[in-house]
Amino acid sequence: MNANVPSVDQSDRNVPINLRQSGPTPVEMLIDTRVRKSPYWHLSMDAGCWRASVYNRMYHPRGYVRPEDGGAMVEYDALINHVTLWNVAVERQIQVKGPDAEAFVNFVITRDATRIPVMRARYVILCNESGGILNDPVLLRIAEDEFWFSLSDSDLELWLRGVNIGHRFDVEIHEIDVAPVQIQGPKSVDLMTDLFGPAVAELPSYGLMSGEVAGHDVIISQTGFSGEKGYEIYLYDASEHAEDLWNAILQAGDKHHLEVIAPAHHRRIAAGILSWGQDMDQETLPFQVNLAYQVPREKDADYIGKAALQQVRDLLETGVYPFTHQLVGLIMGGAPIDDYAPDFWLISESSDAAASGYVTSPWFSPELGQNIALGYVPVAQTALGTELWVHLPQQYADVPGSPVAAQVVQLPFRESVNPNQREILRGKGMDAAV
């Protein structure tokens, strides 16, 4: 195992990212009772899941097609050409319900919760007192007095409960027995129409509606983690009804060439969608990762992290950066990266310079015909067109032991079917950076 890489400046972090370049580690993941199995876990096994990771303290399917049969790139083809079913029960649902639900949610998210209508969802972030991103869930407003946080990979329930010990909002905070699946791909609207009728085709981006599958209540959202057309189905009492939902979707999807696949990180990278714990964490500021639009100037109400985020914004507007690195998009050479990276591969300013940054999320883009990545580079190296070098492992390097050429490019690499707020602002010619 190689030593850590001290040349990458991480002086703005309390706990530096581990940059040891150790490669894949050939060990078997232990399946035990310390990590939860979702209601769909056994169904994923029946569908051919052969590997998994841990997300939100739950086992998370991360591969169905084996490498000898084409691996993740076969799953990618199913996503962009047909329709796919994902087990995403690891998106645990934390319910905030009660007379003060709106006020409480408005205090813990950076966006304005009062502007979220009933039966609409929003992508939101929650920050700590220093402005670090604690979680970036989809927030569903089910009723005037009820919200669900559909979590990314950090345990938010205990933090929300801790916040309320000090502030005493009149709410109840619980994880609930609701487990989502995602239906993603260009034929998703056809499959969803077969399941729920024509009204689902009219659902706007981040819109919600109620429905039934196999006689069981669900909430439907037009959301997803792919950049393709897609939906999520949130099943009530999922521990009892998971099989009924799953099998109904498989049956309805047969004529649409439905495939069960893992969450498509290759497509979400192309869409510029971030993954908490991989592209950001609690020591990352929104301004470092293209999420400045999540920090509104016009929100008058106080919220956790507001003072710190405003101080950072004020510094940035004077040209002072209170952080060392920013996340950028990169195109780069090398053989096609067709699987998850086991390390944060290093970035340098020249082919023989010491490492100064690191890649967080790399994949091969069939549409662009080259490798793409998200990665952190020093602020001085973030301008579009900046030439850099990425130290890929031997199986991907053009010349073993030598880095490949890379270039900073505009995000996203591919436009999303439903553009996010950052893309919308850019399309209007507005600067969402600060």
Render pLDDT for 272-313 as a digit per residue (tens, 0 to 9). 999 999 999 999 999 999 999 999 999 999 999 999 999 999
Tell me, yes or no, whether 87 and 110 share the same domain.
yes
- The answer to whether 268 and 91 are in contact (CB under 8 A) is no
> Closest Cα to residue 106, out of 299, 282, 286?
299
Looking up residue 7, the CATH number of its domain turns out to be 2.40.30.110
Among the residues of 135-270, which ranges form H helices? 157-167, 188-196, 238-253, 265-270
pLDDT of residue 416: 80
Q: How many domains does the chain have?
A: 3
Per-residue model confidence as pLDDT tens digits over 7-41: 899 999 999 999 988 888 888 889 999 999 999 99
Burial class (CB in 10 A: 0-12, 13-18, 19+), 230: buried
What DSSP line would sit under 163-177, residue for residue?
HHHHH--S-EEEE-S
258, 84 in Cβ contact below 8 A? Answer: yes
Task: Indicate if 76 and 184 belong to the same structural domain.
Answer: yes
Domain of 190: which CATH number? 3.30.1360.120
Report yes or no: 342 and 23 within 8 Å, Cβ to Cβ.
yes
Give the list of residues 6+ apart from residue 232 with CB closer than 8 angstroms, or none: 88, 138, 150, 180, 181, 182, 183, 220, 221, 223, 224
Alpha carbons 277 and 281: distance in angstroms, whole number? 5
Residue 280 lies inside a defined structural domain of this protein: no
Quick check: 427 pLDDT over 80? no
Q: Tell whether 406 is covered by a domain.
A: yes
Tell whether 297 and 329 lie within a shared domain.
Answer: no
Tokens 């035990």 map to which residue? 32
pTM: 0.95
Q: Considering the domain boundaries, does residue 143 fall inside one?
A: yes
Domain containing 170 equals 83-175+285-323
In a shared domain, residues 381 and 428: yes
Question: Residue 253 burial (CB < 10 Å; 0-12/13-18/19+)?
Answer: buried
Residue 386 DSSP one-character state: -
Whether residues 399 and 410 fall in one domain: yes
**Reported confidence tier of residue 165, pLDDT bands at 50, 70, 90:** very high
Residue 105 CB partners (closer than 8 Å, separation 6+): 96, 113, 139, 147
pLDDT tens for 322-353 read 999 999 999 999 999 999 999 999 999 999 99
